[in-house]
Amino acid sequence: MMMSLPTVCFHWRPEVTQTGLACQVVEIELLRPDRLMFPQDLPALRLPSELDPQKGVILTGRAPIWLYGWLVHACHYTRWVACYDPRLGAVVVSTHHPEVRLGEVLHLQSQGKRARLAAAVMVVGPPHSGKSLLSYVLFQALLPTCPDVYLQRAHWDGEGNWFLEIPDNRQGQVLKQQHRGAQTQEFFPFQAQAILNLRRQKQLVIVDVGGKVDPAKQPILEACTHYLIVSREPHAIPMWHEFCAERGNLQLLGIVHTYLGQGQRVRQELPYLEMALGMPPDAAPPLLVNLFRNLALPTN
């Protein structure tokens, strides 16, 4: 049921959608400890031998977009191909059979709702305080022990994980501006629904919502459970308490005072964590990682 390669393997399993449609899932597993694979691996890849051309296939797993491009092409001989997005479901991207429509979102019977929703932590604070960077560092630190943690960028500034991973910061700034979006009426309700969908499936959701207190973010407040303030401006902290705790009834996880430089110093641990952290951080603060890890639900 499994095909192994030095950097990636594919797991095949039969599945049924919530509408009773028989299908199959191909799940990608990156094998290296750093979860990397390389374009030169593509020529050696082979699909699982169990793949049935008389059924549709759902592709899932954390992997580079170019691997998904290869998989969609390689699975062209099946009835249809869908790519799984945990915020939405399995989105049909190619079909040769009337049992599904292009753009249809499918849900699997095996992905029933959890008895409890996972926690979702809003990372908030004024602009240029290091929220996106700290969210990413925490996400990376949690992955080895909490593989079902998810980092949701609920902002249109064009700054995804790729921005923090790109080696050339100047190029990253150019691309960020090119991909910068704008707020619409649908944006925050869409993000709130995505967060709820993620909470049904993941152990923990980290939500980066941008640097402004905005009543339009109310749907995000209603979809989350906790908040972490990251601020380089002490005077801005009270407004985030008012927004998250008083308006959103969220539980405070901690306050991180950021500054340009290195080092970290814990000011208090109870009743909530408060610490000073130099930016960019040399590592994720262990106490903060433990707080997030303790929120994660065990895998069902």
pLDDT of the residue at 177: 59
3-state secondary structure of 229: strand
Confidence label for 155 from pLDDT (cuts 50, 70 and 90): confident
CA distance 53 to 77: 6
Q: For position 258, what pLDDT does the model report?
A: 97
SS3 string, 68-118, reads: HHHHHHHCCCCCEEEEEECCCEEEEEEECCCCCCCCCEECECCCCCCCCCC
Domain extent listing, the chain: 2-106, 119-295
- pLDDT-derived band at 23 (thresholds 50, 70, 90) equals very high
Q: How does pLDDT run across 267-297, given as a tens digit for each residue?
A: 999 999 999 999 999 889 999 999 999 999 6
Q: Residues of the chain with pLDDT > 70: what percent?
A: 86
pLDDT in tens, 139-150: 999 998 898 899
pLDDT value, residue 62: 87
Question: Confidence band (pLDDT; 50, 70, 90) for 33?
Answer: confident
pLDDT for the residue 32: 85
Under the banding of pLDDT at 50, 70 and 90, the label for residue 110 is confident
Residue of higher predicted confidence among 7 and 1: 7
Report the range of poorest mean pLDDT among 178-192, 196-210, 213-227. Answer: 178-192
For residue 109, name the pLDDT band (cuts at 50, 70, 90): confident
**One CATH from 3.20.20.140, 3.40.640.10, 3.40.50.720, 3.40.50.300 for 119-295:** 3.40.50.300
Place of tokens 């908030």: 124
Q: What is the predicted pLDDT for the residue at 115?
A: 61
What mean pLDDT is predicted for residues 67-94? 96
pLDDT attached to residue 201: 86
Nearest to 122 by CA among 182, 203, 197, 210: 210
Q: Tell me the pLDDT band of 179, cut-offs 50, 70 and 90.
A: low
Q: Counting runs of H as helices and runs of E as strands, what totals does the chain give?
A: 8, 14
Mean pLDDT, the chain, rounded, equals 88
CB neighbour burial string for 263-275, b if at least 16 within 10 angstroms, e if fewer: ebeeeeeeeebbb
Question: Which of 130, 285, 111, 299 has its CA nearest to residue 204?
Answer: 299
pLDDT > 90? residue 196: yes
**CA dist 33 to 6, 30, 135, 163, 231, Å?**
11, 8, 21, 22, 33
The whole-number average pLDDT for the span 144-169 is 72
Q: Round to whole Å and give the CA distance between 294 and 254.
A: 14
- Over range 183-187, report the average pLDDT: 85
* pLDDT recorded at residue 184: 86
Look up the pTM and report it.
0.76
Q: What is the dihedral of CA 223, 225, 231, 236, to 10 degrees?
A: 80
